[in-house]
Amino acid sequence: MRATTARSSRLGLLGGLALVGAGFLGCQQSQECEASRLELTRTWETLRNTATSRKQIPEASDLSKSEEGERIRAWTEIEDRAELVRSSFETSQVTWSSADKARADLGRAFTPLATSADPMTRGFAITLADADKRLEAFREKCR
């Protein structure tokens, strides 16, 4: 009877260690996803800040008042949508539907500007493409 009790204790201990190990691996994935979520939040914050700065009209620009107004309107909408995407990842309880809608709206707002030869706008487009890749990688791995 003593041998059976000792064997049961060892099996219980091994089973417990296996559960702890499985929990530890889950924790690593959770930590990895949390780090990715925070990085994604920072990426979209950078996009929002870039859009904020793009609303500024450079001195000595030859834009008409109407063109200035359109520029400010477009970049304000992009700024607002980038902030909505960013805030969707602000907590570990990601709001995917809000992020997806805001990203689609941002895409529509940016489309007229996407063909611009302006280096700052091209840089924004590159950062936006990178943010989209990160978002999809996060979605696949952590959703």
Supply the pLDDT for residue 4.
Answer: 54
For residue 82, being part of any structural domain is answered with yes
| Nearest alpha-carbon partner for 88 in 32, 135, 141 | 135
CA distance 30 to 24: 10
For residue 36, being part of any structural domain is answered with yes
For residue 13, being part of any structural domain is answered with no
For residue 2, being part of any structural domain is answered with no
Q: How many domains does the chain have?
A: 1
For residue 7, being part of any structural domain is answered with no
Q: Residue 111, SS3?
A: coil
42-88 pLDDT, tens digit per residue, is 999 999 999 999 988 776 678 888 888 898 999 999 999 999 999 99
For residue 85, being part of any structural domain is answered with yes
pTM: 0.76
**Whole domain around residue 35: which residue ranges?**
30-56+63-142
For residue 8, being part of any structural domain is answered with no
* Range list of H helices, 55-95: 65-88
For residue 99, being part of any structural domain is answered with yes
Q: Residue 89, SS3?
A: coil
